[in-house]
């Protein structure tokens, strides 16, 4: 019985079932896509296969032999390879290419003598050839590009003679040319009998490279079949399950006056430029998958990373070279990594809330404690921060309340532009509702709001205008009241490129 | 969901130890020495202890500033030495009056702080390594300048004559004088402690120093000029080390080479012990003062008990480990 079978896999974390009897079958020499929304159970299933987690129930059979993995090393021995999304975590940055590739051989060489340097290099060269990479063997990993690193990890996986290789979002950070090259290598290896499990949100690529597809939803396999017979629209509808209703929310009124504009704003990471206008009181949403460049875009607007371009706030032109300048001109930024980038965790709520207000609260540089306390108390009440004490330490607050503190520090600063990067990440539904109402009230006061997220339903709920972002570019613009969830997924996952002519695309054009 | 965080801080013995362990240690040490040593609990001896503490405290306050911005300054010991030599040289070799004698070492301290911040902020060297390099270089500079010899009144010069200047009374007053029965250096220390404490706790720049150290990325994204504050911190560190060097030169009345070396570890220990005072869990000036009191009292008592100076380092190390453990366990 050849092929890889995972049968009736059950897994729960505490009381929360994540996998509810999943059957997953990969044939020899095929590329098999594993699809699903965030939280569908893909990662858990793959962690079980890679020996990172063990299942509560279920069996794993590989080419006729039964396995029960208790560590990643077990899985490796059985022929499972994993190319993680963050390739840097799998490499030693200061060691040369060849030593990285044969690292596992060296680690596993318990009794047999170590490979000589010459043998190591020969081995590495052979493997590099297999993944189509020609590199000086002595090049240190830290000087390699991301694409090269990925292929080196692949070579490393092949060196442990893996027959089933998991690729986790392999193209998230690759350019189109690099993606094409990767696909070629996948095809070559496939011809040699290697199987791939391909995890991706980019459905267009899935159509292009994958033979078969398994779709997970809420821990259950909802579809399994040939990739060729499944359209991107069908994939989406399997992934999200119910068909989302067209958004019925009332159209918000906002001014025609442009409050904020960037022209030719350069995003260093993707080497693209972006133009964007936000009107007074308008909430503009940016829909994009992880790796689409949203955070880089936001940090470029704040000039927190190297960038160039022109900024206009209420018609006045600026060129910023530091966050300090951007903030002084009225840009407020609520970063994605709240604990790392937005909070002073061991300080009090009061200290966190008043960091931007100190010039107003200080006389001759002396902070007027009483006034500061009042301002903090007032913000706590407006934002309904719990516990409602200015002296509470921020790290003891829940995620939602922490987020309110991050937003709160900007509320009284007279900023004109608010940028939210994934503001609902890791907060519960009530806090989300409250964050939304804060955002709406900001817009109602005439602020320009930019809202970036990979949770597209949120954009339909809150935004007036939605742009789809992919590879560092804004590729589509929709009015929120006429677009659908499927459309946003379709375009952000790479659909509609090359002048595709299907129903969703036509809808987009007409709207 | 939030009920647990509303409950008041637990009043367990362990918590008491976290908060007041350091003060308790000082108290116990004083009681012990008072009972075992006849001459410990005397006015003269306490004057001695305070005088020796004053220099350590000045140096340790500088270190506290560098710790507040999440940095580190290993070069303070060398800066103390250089400042000692510089003020002695100004007085003895160049016959300068009090103004220049104070200005030169302080400017040198500021220059060393600037150099450190250049290495750490512009060249992005790790703070420990950059200040380690500065420590060596500055120590080398003061040794080269003096060719390894101390500078003292009426010292013979290479050309056959004697040095033209001497330690003038106004300079000696800094380390040896008294106002109303209290040593001037102690008054100076208390003044600096009060001023820096108020500055760090109650003013806007003080707040921003702390925020820069607490989370540099968040501070930057909130528009705080973090690199400017880090630069200030190293300059302040250099300044206070130089001030400590001046007090040292005045107290011993000569310019001894490498006299400041021991102040680095004592200062670092005082600042870190300060983390645990009142359970602050972060660098703070009042804690630093108590840290150097603990070290000063211990050293004084041990010396009176005839414990050799090299064995005293073992006790210092043990105290530092204890204080670090107190503040780190508490963090978790």
Q: Looking at the predicted structure, is the pLDDT value of residue B142 above 80?
A: yes
- Distance from C-alpha of A128 to C-alpha of A99, rounded to nearest angstrom: 12
Rounded Cα distance between A287 and A470, Å, is: 9
Instruction: Name which of A306, A299, A317 is nearest A262 in CA terms.
Output: A317
Tens-place pLDDT, residues B292-308: 999 999 989 999 999 99
**Which pair of structure tokens corresponds to residue B264?**
């680095």
Mean per-residue pLDDT for A281-292? 91
Residue A177 scores a pLDDT above 90:
no
Give per-residue pLDDT as tens, A316-351.
999 999 999 999 999 999 999 899 999 999 999 999
Partner-chain residue, chosen from A344, A356, A365, that has the shortest CB–CB distance to B205: A365
Taking the Cβ of residue A388 and every Cβ of chain B, the question of whether any pair is shorter than 8 Å is answered with no
Q: How far is B277 from chain A (nearest CA, A)?
A: 17
Percent of chain A residues topping a pLDDT of 70: 94
Residue A204 pLDDT exceeds 70: yes
| Terminal-to-terminal C-alpha distance of chain B | 21
β-strand A31-35 against A195-199: which pairing, if any?
parallel
User: Between residues A170 and A334, which one has the greater pLDDT?
Assistant: A334
**pLDDT recorded at residue A39:** 73
Sheet with A331-334, strands from edge to edge, namely: A331-334, A417-421, A448-453, A283-287, A465-470, A473-479
Give how far Cα B58 sits from Cα of B167, B170, B203, B323, Å: 22, 20, 21, 20
Tell me the average pLDDT across A158-163: 85
Contact yes or no for A386 and B203 at CB 8 A: no
CA–CA distance, A101 with A91 (Å, rounded to integer)? 9
Residue A223, judged by CB atoms within 10 A of its CB (0-12, 13-18, 19+), counts as middle
The values of phi and psi at residue A462, to 5°, are -110, -30
Q: Which two tokens stand for residue B301?
A: 């008592």
What ranges in A57-145 are assigned the alpha helix state H? 72-77, 97-101, 103-108, 117-130
Q: Who wins on pLDDT, A270 or A298?
A: A298
Cβ of residue A423 closer than 8 Å to a chain B Cβ: no
Chain B residues inside the 8 Å CB shell of A323: 220-221, 223
Domain ranges of chain A: 4-240, 258-510
pLDDT of residue B324: 78
Give the residue-averaged pLDDT of A115-126. 87
A-chain CB neighbours of B5 within 8 Å are 387, 392, 396-397
Adjacency order of strands within the sheet including A57-62: A16-26, A4-13, A57-62, A65-67
CA angle A118, A122, A124 (to 5 degrees): 115
Q: Which residues are A10's β-sheet partners? A: A20, A57
What's phi and psi for B102, nearest 5 deg?
-85, -40
Where would I find the H helices in B69-203? 76-88, 98-117, 127-146, 169-176, 184-202
Which pair of tokens denotes residue A366?
């002396």
Q: For A323, which of B208, B210, B221 is closest by C-beta distance?
A: B221
Token pair belonging to A145: 């590009």
ipTM, two decimals, is 0.86
Give the mean model confidence (pLDDT) for residues B22-29.
89
B137 neighbors B81 (Cβ within 8 angstroms): no
Q: Do domains A4-240 and A258-510 have the same CATH topology?
A: yes
Q: What letter does residue A242 receive in the DSSP assignment? A: S
Structure confidence at residue B330 (pLDDT): 63
A426: contact with B, CB 8 A cutoff = no
pLDDT band of residue A202 (cuts 50, 70, 90) is confident
Q: What pLDDT was estimated at residue A499?
A: 44
Instruction: Enumerate the domain spans of chain B.
Output: 41-261
SS (H, E, C) A341-370: HHCCCCCEHHHHHCCCCHHHHEECCEECHH
pLDDT tens, position by position, B144-163:
999 999 999 999 988 888 88
Element (H, E) at A236: helix A232-240
Residue B7 confidence (pLDDT) above 60 = no
Beta strand A316-318 pairing with A310-313: antiparallel
Q: What is the CATH number assigned to the segment(s) A258-510?
A: 3.40.50.300
Portion of chain B with pLDDT greater than 90, in percent: 72
Least confident window among A37-46, A202-211, A244-253, A343-352: A244-253
**Considering just the CA atoms, what is the radius of gyration of chain B in Å?**
21
If one looks up domain A4-240 in CATH, what number appears?
3.40.50.300
| pLDDT value for B203 | 96
**Beta strand pairing call for A283-287 and A465-470:** parallel
pLDDT of residue A186: 93
* Percent of all residues in chain B with a pLDDT value above 70, rounded to a whole number: 95
Q: Which of A300, A321, A324, A342 to mutate to test the interface with B (most CBs of B within 10 A)?
A: A324
Q: For position A40, what pLDDT does the model report?
A: 85
Check residue A320 and give its pLDDT.
96
Query: Is A409 close to B210, i.e. CB distance below 8 A?
Result: no
Q: Do A340 and B5 touch (CB under 8 A)?
A: no
Per-residue model confidence as pLDDT tens digits over B192-248: 999 999 999 999 999 999 999 999 999 999 999 999 999 999 999 999 999 999 999
Q: What's the pLDDT score for residue B132? A: 97
Res A176 pLDDT > 80: no
C-alpha to C-alpha distances, A341 to A133, A438, A450, nearest whole angstrom: 37, 20, 18
For the cut 60, the answer to whether the pLDDT of residue B6 exceeds it is no
Give per-residue pLDDT as tens, B26-79.
899 999 999 999 889 888 898 889 988 999 999 999 999 999 999 999 999 999
Asked whether residue A30 carries a pLDDT value surpassing 90, the answer given is: yes
Token pair 């709001």 is at which residue? A449
Report which of residues A505 and A231 the model is more confident about. Answer: A231
- Between B96 and B12, where is the model more confident? B96
> Which structure tokens are listed for A168?
């986790």
């Amino acid at each position: 019985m050849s092929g890889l079978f995972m049968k009736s896999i059950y897994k729960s974390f505490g009381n929360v079932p994540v996998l509810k009897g999943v059957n997953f079958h990969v044939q020899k020499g095929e590329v098999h896509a594993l699809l699903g929304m965030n939280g569908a159970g893909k990662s858990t299933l793959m962690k079980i296969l890679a020996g990172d987690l063990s299942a509560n129930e279920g069996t794993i059979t590989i080419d006729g032999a039964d396995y029960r993995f208790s560590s990643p090393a077990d899985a490796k021995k059985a022929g499972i390879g994993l190319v993680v999304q963050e390739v840097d975590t799998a490499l030693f940055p200061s060691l040369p290419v060849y030593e990285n590739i044969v690292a596992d051989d060296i680690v596993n060489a318990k009794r047999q003598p170590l490979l000589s340097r010459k043998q190591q290099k020969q081995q590495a060269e052979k493997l590099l050839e297999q993944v189509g990479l020609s590199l000086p063997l002595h090049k240190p990993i830290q000087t390699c590009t991301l694409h090269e690193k990925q292929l080196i990890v692949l070579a490393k996986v092949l060196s442990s003679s893996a027959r089933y290789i998991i690729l986790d979002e392999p193209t998230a950070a690759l350019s189109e040319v690099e993606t094409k090259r990767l696909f070629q290598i996948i095809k070559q290896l496939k011809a040699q009998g290697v199987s791939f499990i391909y995890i991706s949100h980019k459905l267009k690529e899935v159509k292009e490279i994958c033979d078969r597809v398994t779709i997970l939803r809420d821990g259950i396999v909802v579809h399994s079949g040939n990739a060729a017979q499944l359209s991107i629209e069908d994939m989406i509808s399997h992934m999200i399950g119910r068909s989302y209703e067209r958004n019925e929310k009332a159209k918000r009124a906002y001014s025609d006056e442009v409050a904020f504009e960037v022209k030719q704003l350069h995003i260093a990471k993707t080497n693209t430029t972006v133009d964007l206008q936000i009107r007074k009181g308008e909430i503009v949403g940016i829909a994009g998958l992880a790796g689409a460049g949203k955070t880089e875009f936001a940090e470029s607007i704040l000039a927190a990373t190297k960038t160039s371009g022109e900024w206009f706030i209420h018609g006045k032109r600026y060129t910023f070279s530091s966050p300090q300048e951007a903030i002084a001109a009225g840009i407020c930024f609520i970063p994605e990594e709240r604990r790392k980038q937005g909070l002073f965790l061991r300080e009090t709520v009061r200290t966190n809330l008043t960091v931007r207000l100190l010039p107003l609260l200080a006389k001759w540089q002396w902070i007027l404690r009483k006034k500061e306390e009042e301002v903090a108390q007032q913000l706590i009440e407006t934002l309904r921060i719990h516990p409602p004490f200015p002296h509470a330490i921020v790290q003891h607050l829940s995620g939602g309340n922490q987020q309110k503190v991050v937003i709160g520090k900007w509320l009284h600063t007279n900023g004109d532009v608010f940028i939210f990067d994934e503001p609902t990440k890791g907060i519960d539904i009530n806090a989300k509702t409250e964050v939304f109402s804060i955002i709406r009230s900001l817009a109602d006061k005439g602020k320009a709001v930019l809202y970036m997220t990979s949770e597209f339903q949120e954009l339909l709920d809150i935004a007036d205008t939605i742009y789809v972002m992919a590879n560092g570019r804004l590729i589509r613009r929709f009015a929120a009241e006429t677009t659908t969830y499927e459309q946003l997924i379709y375009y952000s996952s790479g659909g509609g490129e090359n002048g595709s002519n299907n129903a969703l695309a036509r809808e987009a054009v007409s709207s | 969901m939030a009920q647990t965080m509303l409950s008041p801080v637990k009043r367990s013995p362990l918590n008491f130890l976290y908060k007041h362990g350091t003060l308790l240690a000082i108290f116990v040490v004083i009681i012990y020495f008072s009972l075992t040593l006849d001459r410990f609990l005397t006015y003269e001896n306490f004057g001695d202890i305070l005088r020796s503490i004053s220099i350590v405290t000045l140096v340790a306050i500088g270190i506290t500033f560098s710790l507040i911005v999440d940095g580190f300054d290993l070069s303070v010991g060398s800066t103390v030495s250089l400042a000692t030599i510089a003020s002695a040289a100004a007085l003895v070799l160049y016959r300068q009056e009090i103004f220049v004698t104070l200005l030169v070492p302080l400017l040198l301290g500021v220059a060393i702080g600037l150099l450190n911040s250049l290495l750490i902020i512009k060249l992005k060297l790790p703070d420990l390594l950059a200040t380690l390099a500065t420590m060596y270089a500055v120590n080398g500079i003061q040794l080269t300048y003096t060719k390894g010899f101390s500078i003292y009144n009426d010292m013979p010069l290479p050309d056959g004559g004697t040095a033209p200047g001497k330690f003038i009374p106004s300079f000696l007053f800094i380390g040896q004088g008294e106002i109303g029965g209290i040593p001037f250096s102690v008054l100076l220390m208390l003044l600096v402690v009060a001023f820096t404490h108020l500055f760090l706790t109650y003013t806007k720049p003080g707040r921003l120093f702390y925020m820069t150290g607490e989370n540099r990325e968040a501070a930057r994204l909130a528009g705080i000029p973090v690199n400017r504050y880090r630069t200030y911190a190293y300059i302040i560190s250099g300044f206070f080390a130089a001030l400590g060097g001046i007090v040292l030169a005045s107290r011993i009345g000569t310019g001894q080479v490498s006299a400041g070396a021991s102040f680095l570890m004592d200062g670092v220990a005082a600042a870190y012990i300060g983390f645990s005072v009142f359970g602050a869990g972060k660098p703070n000036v009042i804690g630093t003062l108590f840290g150097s009191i603990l070290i000063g009292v211990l050293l004084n008592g041990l010396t009176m008990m005839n414990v050799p100076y090299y064995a005293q380092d073992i006790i210092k190390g043990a105290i530092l480990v204890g204080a670090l453990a107190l503040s780190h366990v508490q963090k978790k």
